[in-house]
Structure 1
Amino acid sequence: MSILSKKIVSNSAWMMLEKIISMFGLIFVMSYVAKYIGPANFGKIALATTIFTFVQTLTWFGNQEILFKRVSKNISSGLKFLYSTQNLRKIIFILLSLPILGWLYFYTDSLTFIFGIATAIATFILVQDIFIVYNNATLQSHINTIVNIMGLSIAFLCRYLIILLELPAKYLAIPIIFVTLIPFLAKKYYFNKSNKTTYFKVNKYSRYYFSAGGALVISTLSVSLYTQATSLMLTYLTSTYELGLYSVAATIGISWSFVNQAIITSVLSKIFKEKDNNTAYLMFAQLNYIIIFISISACIGFIFLGKFIITFLYGSAYLASYPLLIVMAIAGLFSSLGTISSRLILREEGYSYISKKTLLVATCSLPISYTFIHFFGLMGAAYSIATIEFLSATIFNYFYKNSVILKVHLWPFYKFLD
């Protein structure tokens, strides 16, 4: 049985196209912006983005995957859930954002505050954009891709004109908003035009939003924390020079992961509809094999082309990050396998297990990072992140439901798990 139907392959291809354009566009255009406004002002944009990334995570309250699963299984029920929780997300976002904007106003300069407002507006639009989840779950990612490319293009053109006309840096707040506003309006227009059904808001979904997402929001925040642990430890034990090399290796080493994520997201919409457990487990096993093949191919590519890629993008001064690049690519493999394992647990509504597991991973990441970096220095940073991702994808998942994850990983030896 093949899990890669024509529709799934097409949907994955559209998602990959969007990521490719976004990635290369951001690399070249944002570097242009950084040169124009200087590192200090560019850091203010980065600060606002970092802060509101956490606000976005808390506002969704761990429900993004739950919403995706619900729409995949039952479109009507999923849309009711999406619509009924919109006001709730508005309230959560406002309660979280107002204190942050107040802090930015009183304790930072005017430019940081302006970037903060723009990022807050862009993030607010993003958490109200239910059409991203709907289109991905219904294998209509081409809609997301087309309108996102349109939004990115207009935002990039706006940035270019601001720099060309040498306008003050504060005007760069405009494209920050455009990059989410334009795709949202386009998707909303298309959805309303093609879907005439009216969905009423139901209070019970608001209660479920907190009860179901409560466990996953801890997991989501823990992931954000443990992925940053190595960077913090590297800075503490070595220097910002090593951190710079590590950042380059990490950026390039996992840059190809959008291919894995696109395939995983598309295939999951089919798996979540499957009612028979053994058939679903077989599909998860097949998905693992596909991801392993793609990941090994990427690792081989970096072995032969890694030095050229680093020199082309960052210059010869960063060639010392090449040995880390291969290890980070391996970490990307385990990260993708961990995503599949988490979605299997999510399919069976093991929200509490995911939360506890991720919190444990976050706790273990600190001593692991410290030990590897203390003994191996810069290479230890790469070793530590690969080790953390390996543990998260395998051993920490093997305690769930009679080791079902282990049995799926070793599917040829088990076949039937009931």
Structure 2
Amino acid sequence: MSILSKKIISNSLWMMIEKCISIFGLIFVTSYVAKYIGPSNFGKIALAATLFGFVQTLTWFGNQEILFKRVSRNPKSGLKYLIGTQNLRKILFLVCALPILFGLYLYSDFLTLIFGIATAFAAYFITQDVYTIYNNAILHSYINAIVNMIGLGAALLSRYLIVLFEMNYTFLAIPIVITALIPFLLKKYIFNKSQQLKPISLAHYRKYYFGAGSALVLSTLAVTLYTQVTSLMLAALTSTRELGVYAVAVTLGMSWAFINTSIITSVLSKIYREKSRYQSYMMIAKLNLVIIIISLLMVIMLAIFGQWAVNFLYGNAYQDAYELILILGLATLCSGLGTVAARLLVKEESYRYISRKMIFVAISALPISYIMIYLFELKGAAYSVMIIELLSLTVFNYFYKNGLIFKIHFFPFFKNSLKSKY
């Protein structure tokens, strides 16, 4: 059974085109900005992004994948759920964002506060952007691609002009907001032209949002924690300079993850509709193989061109980032396979296992990150990410259903036993 139909391939390509342009555009302009403001100030932007990553996670309350699955199965029902929980996300966002902004006001400098406010606005529009989920689920990602490229173009142009005319660093807050605001407004306009649904807020939607999401919110929060804990540890144990260098390494070493994500997201709409468990397991095994091949090719490219990219794009101030790139590339491979495994658990509605697993991953991430960064600083940060992703992919997954994910990872050896059982 082929997992890549023409529609899925087309949808994946649109997602990859959008992300490819976004990543390469952001790399070139971000490198321009990074050279302009230096590692320490660049680290302040990274710190603001890290903090509001938690806000986005809490606002979605574990419902992103549930929303995607619901729209994939029944677009009309899923759409009502998306719209019906919109006001709830607004309240959750304010509850989570305001304390962080107040903390930045009290304990950080003025520039960090400005970046924090801009990132808060951007995060707000991202959490209200239900149109991205809807378009991806119905395989209309071309809409997301086109409008996101328009927003990115406006943001990149504004950043370029700010640096070109050597304006005050605070003006760099403007493109942070533009990146999220313009795509949100355009997608909303396009959606409203084709859909007649009005904003609704029903009690049973709110109850389901918290009920279904409660099992996953700890999981998604744990994911955010263990993926961002390295940045927080670096800021706490070293300085924003190291965080700035690390942010560059992450950009170059992990930015290509959009390729994996695009393919996974497109294929999942087909896997979620598959009723046969064995067939879905076989499709997941094939998807794993695709992710491995793509990831290894990207790691090889990083090995060949990584040092040149750091020198050309960011300069000598960020030279330490090169040592981290290959490590983070391998971590991205593990992360891609981990995403596939996590979506299998969502398909089987094993939310309790997901929640428990990710709590253990998050708990293990704290000492691993602390020890590695304390002993090895920047290089330790990269190794801690790779170790955590590897543990999340293997050890913490293999307890599920007597090693089901282990058997899918080594599908050719367990093909017959899975077929006879499912």
Is TM more than 0.5 here? yes
Aligned to 1:273: 273
1:297 equivalent to 2:297? Answer yes
Aligned-pair CA distance for 1:267: 0.7
Q: Aligned partners of 2:231 and 2:108: how far apart in 1?
A: 25
1:135 equivalent to 2:135? Answer yes
- Map 1:308-319; keep pairs closer than 5 Å: 308-315=308-315
Aligned to 2:204: 204
The answer to whether the Cα contact below 8 Å between 2:245 and 2:318 also exists between their aligned partners in 1 is yes
Amino acid of the residue matched to residue 86 of structure 1?
Q
Q: CA 1:240/1:198 → structure 2, altered by over 3 Å: closer, same or farther?
A: closer
Aligned to 2:152: 152
Q: Aligned partners of 2:272 and 2:251: how far apart in 1?
A: 31
Q: Aligned partners of 2:43 and 2:401: how far apart in 1?
A: 45
1:406 equivalent to 2:406? Answer yes
Q: Aligned partners of 2:251 and 2:270: how far apart in 1?
A: 31
Amino acid of the residue matched to residue 285 of structure 1?
A
Q: CA 1:113/1:304 → structure 2, altered by over 3 Å: closer, same or farther?
A: closer
Aligned to 2:224: 224
The answer to whether the Cα contact below 8 Å between 1:84 and 1:203 also exists between their aligned partners in 2 is no
Q: Secondary structure at the match of 2:121?
A: helix
Uncovered stretches (5+) of structure 2, i.e. residues with no partner: none
Q: Aligned partners of 1:241 and 1:56: how far apart in 2?
A: 25
Q: Aligned partners of 1:48 and 1:374: how far apart in 2?
A: 22
The answer to whether the Cα contact below 8 Å between 2:63 and 2:209 also exists between their aligned partners in 1 is yes
Aligned to 1:87: 87
Q: CA 1:236/1:11 → structure 2, altered by over 3 Å: closer, same or farther?
A: same
Aligned to 2:186: 186
Q: Give per-residue Cα distances to partners, 1:18-50, cap 9 Å, x unaligned.
A: 222222222232343455566666555444433
1:359 equivalent to 2:359? Answer yes
Aligned-pair CA distance for 1:330: 1.8
Moved more, 247-256 or 30-39: 30-39
Q: Give per-residue Cα distances to partners, 1:357-382, cap 9 Å, x unaligned.
A: 11111222244445656777765544
Aligned-pair CA distance for 1:274: 1.2
The answer to whether the Cα contact below 8 Å between 1:302 and 1:325 also exists between their aligned partners in 2 is yes
Aligned to 1:388: 388
Q: CA 1:297/1:191 → structure 2, altered by over 3 Å: closer, same or farther?
A: same
Q: CA 1:84/1:236 → structure 2, altered by over 3 Å: closer, same or farther?
A: closer
- Map 1:13-412; keep pairs closer than 5 Å: 13-34=13-34, 45-105=45-105, 112-164=112-164, 168-197=168-197, 200-230=200-230, 248-315=248-315, 322=322, 324-369=324-369, 380-412=380-412
Q: CA 1:359/1:114 → structure 2, altered by over 3 Å: closer, same or farther?
A: same
Q: Aligned partners of 1:180 and 1:331: how far apart in 2?
A: 27
Q: Secondary structure at the match of 2:25?
A: helix
Q: CA 1:293/1:211 → structure 2, altered by over 3 Å: closer, same or farther?
A: same
Q: Aligned partners of 1:113 and 1:243: how far apart in 2?
A: 17
The answer to whether the Cα contact below 8 Å between 2:8 and 2:139 also exists between their aligned partners in 1 is yes
Greater relative CO (CA pairs within 8 A, separation 6+): 2
Moved more, 290-299 or 101-110: 101-110
Q: Aligned partners of 1:137 and 1:120: how far apart in 2?
A: 27
The answer to whether the Cα contact below 8 Å between 1:80 and 1:202 also exists between their aligned partners in 2 is no
Moved more, 236-245 or 406-415: 236-245
Q: CA 1:380/1:88 → structure 2, altered by over 3 Å: closer, same or farther?
A: closer
Moved more, 345-354 or 369-378: 369-378
Aligned-pair CA distance for 1:113: 4.6
Q: CA 1:291/1:81 → structure 2, altered by over 3 Å: closer, same or farther?
A: same
Q: CA 1:373/1:267 → structure 2, altered by over 3 Å: closer, same or farther?
A: same
Q: Aligned partners of 2:42 and 2:386: how far apart in 1?
A: 30
Aligned-pair CA distance for 1:148: 0.7
The answer to whether the Cα contact below 8 Å between 1:11 and 1:142 also exists between their aligned partners in 2 is yes
Moved more, 27-36 or 314-323: 314-323
Q: CA 1:169/1:6 → structure 2, altered by over 3 Å: closer, same or farther?
A: same
The answer to whether the Cα contact below 8 Å between 1:132 and 1:144 also exists between their aligned partners in 2 is yes
Q: CA 1:325/1:90 → structure 2, altered by over 3 Å: closer, same or farther?
A: closer
Q: Aligned partners of 1:43 and 1:237: how far apart in 2?
A: 14
Q: Secondary structure at the match of 1:346?
A: helix
Aligned-pair CA distance for 1:137: 1.0
Q: Aligned partners of 1:375 and 1:45: how far apart in 2?
A: 25
The answer to whether the Cα contact below 8 Å between 1:328 and 1:382 also exists between their aligned partners in 2 is yes
Q: Percent identity?
A: 60
Q: CA 1:326/1:107 → structure 2, altered by over 3 Å: closer, same or farther?
A: closer
The answer to whether the Cα contact below 8 Å between 1:335 and 1:389 also exists between their aligned partners in 2 is yes
Q: CA 1:81/1:328 → structure 2, altered by over 3 Å: closer, same or farther?
A: same
What is the root-mean-square deviation of aligned Cα atoms in Å?
3.0
Q: Aligned partners of 2:305 and 2:108: how far apart in 1?
A: 43
The answer to whether the Cα contact below 8 Å between 2:324 and 2:382 also exists between their aligned partners in 1 is yes
Moved more, 244-253 or 145-154: 244-253
Q: Aligned partners of 1:126 and 1:138: how far apart in 2?
A: 19
Q: Secondary structure at the match of 1:62?
A: coil
Q: Aligned partners of 1:197 and 1:398: how far apart in 2?
A: 43
Q: Secondary structure at the match of 2:401?
A: coil
Q: Secondary structure at the match of 1:349?
A: coil
Moved more, 400-409 or 43-52: 43-52
Q: CA 1:353/1:314 → structure 2, altered by over 3 Å: closer, same or farther?
A: same
Q: CA 1:115/1:375 → structure 2, altered by over 3 Å: closer, same or farther?
A: closer
